[in-house]
Structure 1
Amino acid sequence: MKVRILGNSIRFRLKKPEVSQFEQVGKVTETAEFGPEPADQLRFSLETYDGETLAIRFISNTTTIYVPQALALNWTQTEKVGFDGEVDTGKGRTIRILVEKDFMCIDGNEEDNAGAYPNPMTKC
């Protein structure tokens, strides 16, 4: 999973195996380890839930985006590239969330492109 944060927005880009795991298990997580202890880790997670709208939480060094079941199924089982929304974080503030399938980089190397979706801009 690739994670991009810009201001008060966050974007997750998932490759095919991650989208498949999300569809089958209902959760996928990426971890950055800055040290050996759990407190030294920063985790990003995408998880399905029974709610009706996107939600986000940050607890114990983990940012979790909660995706309604229907939206998750529509995204994983179709050609739909992604989905987005804004979530109220309190005190009149919002965070923009974008989740997308990750396409192969046109000029990327094999390692960067492993597991990515074919890029619609190429004639592969």
Structure 2
Amino acid sequence: MKLRIEDDTLRLRLSDGEVQEFAQNGRVESAVHFGLNPEQRLTYALERGSEPAQTLPNVEPVQVHYEPGALTVLVPFALAKAWVETDQNGFSHDLPLAENQHLRILVEKDLDCRH
């Protein structure tokens, strides 16, 4: 899974195999290691919500959970299901933050070039 972070944009691109893993398990995870110690890494993941999840009022449909060393993008079940079961290439969401800021989240299938 590729991770791209630029300004207030977070982009995940999944290979065909990773999309299938996400469809089966509801989660796909990768890591970047920055040193010799196991703590010196950033783990990033895409995770699907539970099935009968109704979006509650004032709750964003796509969410991000961050703690030092771990970043998880949380996607509602229905959105994840539609994305993996169709030819829909990706989806995006603008997550409101404090003080009129927002985080743009993009999740895409990383399609192979077919020439």
Q: Which aligned runs of 4 or more in structure 1 are off by greater than 4 angstroms?
A: none
Gaps of at least 5 residues in structure 1 are 106-118
How far did 1:43 drift? 1.1
Letter of the 1:104 partner, please give it. Answer: D
CA offsets per residue over residues 3-62 of structure 1, 9 Å max, x none? 111100011000011000101101001101112333201111100114530001211311
Alignment pair present for 1:69 and 2:77 = yes
Tell me which residue corresponds to 1:37: 37
Q: Does the C-alpha gap of structure 1 residues 20 and 37 become closer, same or farther in structure 2, counting only changes over 3 Å?
A: same
Q: Which runs of 5+ in 2 are unaligned?
A: 56-60
Q: How many residues align?
A: 107
Give the residue type in structure 2 aligned to 1:74. Answer: A
Q: TM-score, normalised by structure 2?
A: 0.85
Q: Which amino acid aligns with 2:45?
A: S
Structure 1 CA distance for aligned equivalents of residues 25 and 68 of structure 2: 22
Instruction: Tell me the CA shift for residue 92 of structure 1.
Output: 2.6
TM-score using structure 1 length: 0.79
Could you tell me which amino acid in structure 2 is paired with residue 16 of structure 1?
D
